[in-house]
Amino acid sequence: MSEPFVVRPRGESPVASARPNRRVPDHPAIAPLRAHLVDPDVTDVFVNGGGALFVDRGRGAEPVAGWHATPGEVRDLAVDLIGIGGRHLDDLAPLVDVRWDNGARVHAVLAPVAVDGAVISIRLPSAQRLSLDDLGRQGMFDAATGAVLAGFVADRENVLVSGATGAGKTTLLSALLGLVPHDERIVTIEDVAELRIDHPHHVRLESRQPNLEGAGGVGLARLVREALRMRPDRLVVGECRGEEVRELLSALNTGHDGGAGTVHAGGIDDVPARLEALGALAGLDDRALARQVASAVGAVVHVGRGVDGVRRVTRIARPVVVGDRLEIRERS
């Protein structure tokens, strides 16, 4: 054949899908999933305890007809896939998250925690690094919005990207950081390293979970403090999900301009409540959190995924303090 076989939606032309396959680890354990892992259109692969396989090509999770595995086979597959990332999955550690060398993030849960049998979730990186212009051409935003986003980077505005899971937060943040001048040093801190930035001076720090004895763990909050000793020109927390929000806000309030982070939120109006919850984990009351955020963050960019599967920038706003509480207002 002139090209590798891939499953295409009816009506899609071969030319439209003629993109290079995604690189995956050279390991026999991935054989049952290889055809989907290398498909550049697939963003997520899910194996459920009952032995069903689902993939997401931007239209939501869709079942793969004809694929089946027994509960024992799914468990063995989960153990092997986690092993590729250098960690061990067993009854003493039944929930594990790892990153493969190609950037794929693999999460697995064993029974009986997963009631119906082992569950595997694989988040796949884009087969190519997308620039801000690329995202604009794909429909994430119009030209005017693209200019505003590029201006945030040029003006060293501290930016918080919000959105739900799979909305495109990491993709947009990676594209924005690709605009950072090449004489600046970017230090990123992530729970699992997913940011893929087209930049020559990118230092990546990744948290580490403790071992079975509870020792050796390195959390995001500590990594933020350590990163400040590395003279970053741009300090980035891939996702704020706990007490590290305090260290990030403190850093952005003490001269570290041009920083960024992401936060989970269903809508931009939900961001204040989400940040207040994170602040509570860090010992910040609502008043202190509101003042820290309003002072540190210049723009909140919300991304959402429409029913058509297209990821779009839906709103751009700024945080303000109203009556000692954090609110979000449209940028003028």
CA atoms within 13 A on the CB side of 73: 13
Q: Which domains does the chain have, with CATH numbers?
A: 28-123 (3.30.450.370), 132-330 (3.40.50.300)
Of 176, 177, 29, whose CA–CA distance to 98 is shortest? Answer: 29
Q: How far apart (Å, rounded) are the C-alpha atoms in residues 120 and 33?
A: 11
Which token pair is 107?
């999460």
Q: Is 232 left (phi over 0), alpha (psi -120 to 50) or beta?
A: beta
Q: Which tokens is 188 given? A: 């990123």
pTM exceeding the 0.85 threshold for the entire prediction: no
Classify each residue of 179-213 as buried b or exposed e, where b means 16 or more C-beta atoms within 10 Å of its C-beta: bbeeeebbbbbbbbbbbbbebeebebbbbeeeeee
Give the closest residue to 195 by CA, choosing from 182, 208, 176, 209.
Answer: 176
Q: Are strands 95-99 and 119-123 parallel, antiparallel or unpaired?
A: unpaired
**How far is Cα 69 from Cα 49, in angstroms, rounded to an integer?**
9
Read off φ and ψ for residue 316, nearest 5 degrees.
-130, 125
The secondary structure of 155-201 as a DSSP string is TT--EEEEE-TTSSHHHHHHHHHTTS-TTS-EEEEESS-------SS
Helix 169-177 vs helix 143-154: crossing angle, to nearest 10: 60
Spell out the per-residue pLDDT of the chain, length 332, in tens: 333 323 333 334 333 445 678 888 889 999 999 999 999 889 899 999 888 999 998 778 899 998 989 999 999 999 999 999 988 999 988 999 888 988 889 999 999 999 999 999 999 887 678 899 999 998 999 999 999 999 999 999 999 999 988 888 989 999 999 999 999 999 999 887 888 888 999 999 988 877 777 778 888 888 888 988 999 999 998 888 788 888 888 888 877 899 998 999 999 999 999 999 999 988 999 999 999 999 999 999 999 988 777 889 999 999 999 999 999 998 76
